[in-house]
A and B are shown apart, each in its own frame.
Chain A
Amino acid sequence: MVNDTRPVKLEIRNLNISYGGQAAISGVNLSIREHEIFGIIGPANAGKTSFLKAINRMDMFDRKMRVEGDILFNGQNVREWRNIYALRSRIGVVFPLPVGLPMSVYDNVALSARLRGIKEKAELDLIVERCLTRAALWDEVKDRLDTLGSLLSGGQQQRLTIARALSQEPELLMLDEFSIAVDPVTTMRIEDVLKELKSEMTIILVTNLVQQARRLADRTAFFLDGECVEIAQTEALFTGQASDPRTQDYVEGRFG
């Protein structure tokens, strides 16, 4: 297997997440390798979003959320990272609904760089142009970089969100059902972008579209009711080689 030679980027050991006693994720073990697109599929309430939140410690402000187990990012347990801001700045997140922050398109993409202390205009210009180009948005907005990000169309805002995540120069990019509010054409464009990004970063793709996982993911995990039912080579799942009948049913659209 070619995959096995790549170093492990993220390792999850016995992860449990609960909200006020209600389990959202129970006993998940998996490891994701560098430069892999790791797909996660599963119906609503499978715990997919909670899983992502735990990785970049977004549980910090959510008092009800309890996380147990080990999450090793580059071999280091994220629950022991003192500076979670530094952790988060290395992990890009794209949410289901696009979030164009109420500032100009330029400022949206420059925000992360500015948070890191980059002030020089020329450098910021470069970052903004590069990230917008890579998110396949540059041509559409290059003449109106000073319009409010929140005024772009849904599909544009989602690409803006991706450009903003890329401006962090993340090692790990997590996408949470990014295509929910995006038209099919834009979705395909973003998918092409992701295929290219794979050479530079590790990607976790949580998706509600099983075919999207098939198109993009190297390996895919099937989550159901907080459990990781199965992890396999994506092609295997879609060619009738799923080892669990529930996975088989789900990818064939028999439930969920």
Chain B
Amino acid sequence: MSHNHAIDRRNLDWYIDKAVQVLVFIGGISAVVFIVGIFLFITKEGIGFLINTLDLQEFFGSPYWEPSDEDAPEYGILALMAGTASVTGLAMLIAIPFSLGSAIYVAEFATGKTREWLKILIELLAAIPSVVWGFIGLTIMNPLIIELFDVPVGLTVLNAGIILGLMAAPIMTSIAEDALKAVPDRYREAAEALGATRWQIIFKTVLPAAKNGLLGAVLLGVGRGFGETMAVLMATGHAVNIPGSVFDSVRALTATIAAELGETAVGSDHYQVLFTIGLFLFLITFLINLTADLIVRGIRNS
């Protein structure tokens, strides 16, 4: 009977196994807990404004943002949305070709030491804090743009777009390069054996095979652009304005929150409207990720 006992006994391995299971489970659900927690917190802080004061038409339709006007505060975020969209859009126009180009070079052409060095440098570039990028925008890009284009101000959509594009490019490159590296070599060999040139191999086989990962890289860049605060605050000129050209100053949604939250009284309308903007940003990011997910799944299913 003694051997049956041994089967029934919980030994150290059993307890370690259970403990690891529990730890991994906690790790797994913590992401969900945090995201729900953040959502609830933002909603709670902004809920008073959402229910009592919010006029949807004014909020999304008006370009006037004067929340600190004591007599007639105005809460229109149209100009702020235009600011964020224009800067992010320009940044993507710059970052997508740059990052895809360098990812293709690193993954398909560079070899040995060159490749290793490039990878290290790209990761290093991705690690530069955003305030440093903002500083570059403020002190280098600003006078450069004034000089080059003969315009009165250099803190513009152009400035922030370039800065944000350069900021987003390294991380996009990293993700895109991983996607290209994940394409099995036998695909390349098969195309090579058909007599495809290097470009044909890349364009006809490698890129189509990696399109999910590449799309992921681009959407990560878009998300980065939307969420970026510090560099955008420093390089856009921070002026509430619907831009007519890339030489106009704008203000971004995120920068508005960062610049104004410290000066508002907790619980005031102004405080609450900033949280409403936060909620809006949260939903946009959520939508971007959801779209990405659906697109990727759609590709996979077809």
- A interface list, Cβ under 8 A from B: 56, 58, 61, 63, 85-93, 95, 97, 99, 101-103, 111-112, 114-115, 161, 164-165, 168
CA distance A102 to B188 in the complex (A): 11
Is B194 in the interface zone, CB < 8 Å from A? yes
Q: Is the CB of B187 within 8 A of A58?
A: no
CA distance A164 to B209 in the complex (A): 18
10 interchain pairs (CB within 8 A)?
Answer: A89-B194, A89-B195, A95-B189, A99-B186, A101-B205, A112-B194, A115-B194, A115-B196, A165-B194, A168-B194
Which one of B191, B193, B200, B209 has the highest number of Cβ atoms from chain A below 10 Å of its Cβ? B193
> Quick one: which of B111, B186, B187, B192 contacts A88, CB cutoff 8 A?
B192
Inter-chain contacts of A99 with B (CB < 8 A): 186-187, 189-190
Is B204 in the interface zone, CB < 8 Å from A? yes
Return A192 CB to nearest CB of chain B, in Å.
23
Inter-chain contacts of A115 with B (CB < 8 A): 194-196, 200, 204
Inter-chain contacts of B195 with A (CB < 8 A): 85-90, 112, 115, 168
For A61, the closest partner residue in chain B by CB is B192
CA distance A2 to B190 in the complex (A): 35
CA distance A112 to B186 in the complex (A): 16
Q: Is the CB of B208 within 8 A of A103?
A: yes
Contact with A along B115-127 (1 / 0, CB 8 A): 0000000000000
CA distance A54 to B197 in the complex (A): 17
Inter-chain contacts of B111 with A (CB < 8 A): 63
Q: Is the CB of B186 within 8 A of A97?
A: yes
Q: Is the CB of A102 within 8 A of B209?
A: yes
Task: Tell me whether A56 and B186 are in contact in the complex, defined as CB-CB below 8 angstroms, given that A102-B209, A111-B204, A115-B200 are known contacts.
Answer: no
Which one of A115, A164, A165 has the highest number of Cβ atoms from chain B below 10 Å of its Cβ? A115
CA distance A89 to B192 in the complex (A): 9
Inter-chain contacts of A90 with B (CB < 8 A): 195
Inter-chain contacts of A56 with B (CB < 8 A): 193
CA distance A164 to B191 in the complex (A): 10
Return A14 CB to nearest CB of chain B, in Å.
25
Inter-chain contacts of A87 with B (CB < 8 A): 195
Inter-chain contacts of B200 with A (CB < 8 A): 115
CA distance A115 to B196 in the complex (A): 7
CA distance A94 to B220 in the complex (A): 39
CA distance A206 to B43 in the complex (A): 68
Smallest CB-CB A-B distances: 4 pairs: A89-B195, A93-B193, A88-B195, A99-B190
Q: Is the CB of A88 within 8 A of B194?
A: yes
Q: Is the CB of B189 within 8 A of A58?
A: yes
Return B301 CB to nearest CB of chain A, in Å.
10
CA distance A90 to B111 in the complex (A): 29
Inter-chain contacts of A102 with B (CB < 8 A): 187, 205, 208-209
